[in-house]
Amino acid sequence: MTNSRRPMKAEDLTRLEVFSDPHFTPDGKAYTYVSTIINENNEYEANLFFQNVNETNRKQWTFGHHRNSNLTFSPDGKTAVFQSNRSGLSQLWLIHTDGGEARQLTTFKYGASNPIWSKDGKQILFSALLEKDDDIQNQKELSKEEQQQELEKKRNEPLFVNRLQYKSNGKGFHDDKRTQIILLDIEKELYTQLTTADEDHRLQDISPDGEKLLFTANLNPGADYENTIDLFLFNISTKKLSKLTDSKGIYYNARFSPSGNKISSFGHEYQYDGATLSEIFVFDIATGERTCLSDSWDIELGDAMAGDTRLGKSTNGPIWSKNEDKLFFLATDFGATGLYLVTLEHELTVLYKNDNHVFGFSYDRNSESFILGISTPTNPCNFYKLGKDLDLTRLTNANAAFLEEVAVTDPETITIPTKDGWKIQGWILKPYEFDENKKYPLILEVHGGPHAMYGQTFFHELQLLAAKGYVVLYTNPRGSHGYGQKFVDAVRSDYGGRDYEDLMDAVDYVLDHYPYINENRLGVTGGSYGGFMTNWIVGHTDRFKAAVTQRSISNWLSFYGVSDIGYFFTKWELGYDLLENPAKLWDFSPLKFADKVETPLLILHGELDYRCPIEQGEQLFIALKHLRKDVEFVRFPGADHELSRSGDPNMRIARLEQICRWFNKYL
């Protein structure tokens, strides 16, 4: 039967409206959120919207081709502060909630971000990138011309490197600037720099009495060689600094309880290195006692969902209840994310979990209700109110016209038995205008991480491939989040082992159970770890007739020294670093098996990818080309590791077009 809606296109990325960051107003009667689109200039544009929870109409608070975000209300709800790049750099702006133009609060040379109100509404805490001896009272934002001049100056000067951690994906090469925490007295227009150490400080919260600041950082002498992040309490009046943790792990999303007597935080102590599930902790400020509330659980806290249409940040928790007897948070489990609560007696309750993706929430202490941001496989996003009695009411109707025009496919969930007795969750997307009497080519998608999760969320790339006439198979092989600690840890020291077999078992399963799949027309693609696995697959089987590897790893020996995380990630995931066992790293490297590759391979890589640097793609391309294999290499100028998710819109569309071109050619 002919579909009344047209098939998805690559350029439909520019048609999507993406919601994020819901926030109740202090009285609980309304909420705000961020809406991000790709405008007519093919640039991201994010604006703030306001909506009463009992009305369907929304009110736009900011306008123009800028990026506005991180809005937070003053305690009395009369004003709000947010960050915006409308002046050129991201700065803080103040807006009256009853109307009027926003007023610029900061003009810091390198911008300001992450504002938090003091509980009396007289001060705002925020983060700013500062050089060592900057005068914070006389900061002047650089003009576009001055920014360009500074950039040109850097390009013409040598870069002196004396730190192990000297670059990072997205940020580029590090310099002497550090993120510091600043206190702004709004009435006096006076700034106070609260942190000064030669490390980045991550602002978390301010106590209800306005006396204590909560932040995370690594202030140890050997910080350059560590991946620990401690939690600190700073007394603003006395300047006394207290470390709440013991430099054994990583802590984040920390918040004071309503009374200020306790602190909640996510974190873990690297028991399984980078595969360790996060825990939820409560600190008693008076006694210093730390309690783990999640020690008997086997779920990942927060949102580990993989996708390509999430823009902007949203709250994952933990958030205190009004009586501070429980905490609310998101958790990732079995292909979905949901809203949970835990009491201080360790009792866990699922408040909302369905076959979808809760990507953020806001809690109102007045009504004890929630705003939930929810994505489903067939709908990019909407906001819902979850009442105290857990009834769910939809508040928005995002992308309605788009979804009336464009066909989207609802996936079928499958469970795949493996040869060694495990069970793997996966999904099948049928092609556009599916006819059960026809045979269709299949594309296997492999997610990155590997400690991430495919699941019940909208995924433009997957829908696009289905629209192009392919059956799309995506699964969560061992190493993925969502199935417990043993499962997520099982890939370590076994890359290309049982994880590879899980994927092949999945392909075998769908070929056995779905007669409409053509076993002679199979394709495979993936990015990051998924790119590594694509490279591994084509070096170990010729069952696939086309492959596209994206931002991949091909050589673990060089990855150790060129990736921004290679020096520790290599040992975390493979069990060895370059200096300990180079022969073993070579055994894990797809490049070793280049002579076995018979599958036509397209290599896609961003030129500014510091996570999986482009030399990984270059090495594989040269080896295969030298061997006269069927291979092409597409380089994306200016693109980093986030190309497919938040990269330049034109480059994102070009990437999708290249994937479709390659599979169309060979499948």
Q: Strand pairing of 423-429 and 412-417?
A: antiparallel
Measured between alpha carbons, how far is 462 from 479 in angstroms, rounded to an integer?
A: 21
Identify any residues that bridge with 303 across adjacent strands, giving them in sequence order: none
Q: Are 81 and 94 in contact (CB under 8 A)?
A: yes
Rounded CA separation 483/332 (Å): 9
- Rounded Cα distance, 297 and 292, in Å: 11
Note the helical H segments in 23-126: none
- The answer to whether 86 and 66 have CB atoms below 8 angstroms apart is yes
Strands (E) in 224-376, as ranges, are 230-235, 241-243, 250-256, 262-268, 279-284, 290-292, 300-301, 319-320, 326-333, 336-343, 348-352, 357-364, 369-376
How many Cβ atoms from other residues are within 10 Å of residue 626's Cβ?
Answer: 9
- Assign 130 to helix, strand or coil: strand
Q: Is the peptide bond before 377 cis (omega within 30 degrees of 0)?
A: no
Is the Cβ–Cβ distance between 44 and 68 less than 8 Å?
no
Q: Which residues pair with 80 in a beta bridge?
A: 73, 95
Count of H-run helices and E-run strands, the chain:
12, 39
Catalytic residues: 528, 641
Burial of 42 (0-12, 13-18, 19+ CB in 10 A): middle
3-state secondary structure of 639: coil
Residues 6+ apart with CB under 8 A from 564: 165, 167, 168, 169, 610, 611
Is the separation of the CB atoms in 383 and 371 below 8 Å? yes
In terms of residues, how long is the chain? 667
Q: At what angle do helices 529-538 and 498-513 cross, to 10 degrees?
A: 70
Tokens of 490: 């099982």
Give the CA distances from residue 289 to residues 28, 245, 298, 536, 612, in Å, rounded to whole numbers and listed in that order. Answer: 33, 10, 23, 47, 40
| Encoded tokens for 361 | 């929430």
Sheet of 290-292, strands arranged across: 250-256, 262-268, 279-284, 290-292
Q: In whole angstroms, what is the distance from residue 45 CA to residue 84 CA? A: 11
Q: Which string of b and e fits 551-572 if b means at least 16 CB within 10 Å?
A: bbbbbbbbbbebbbbbbbbbbb
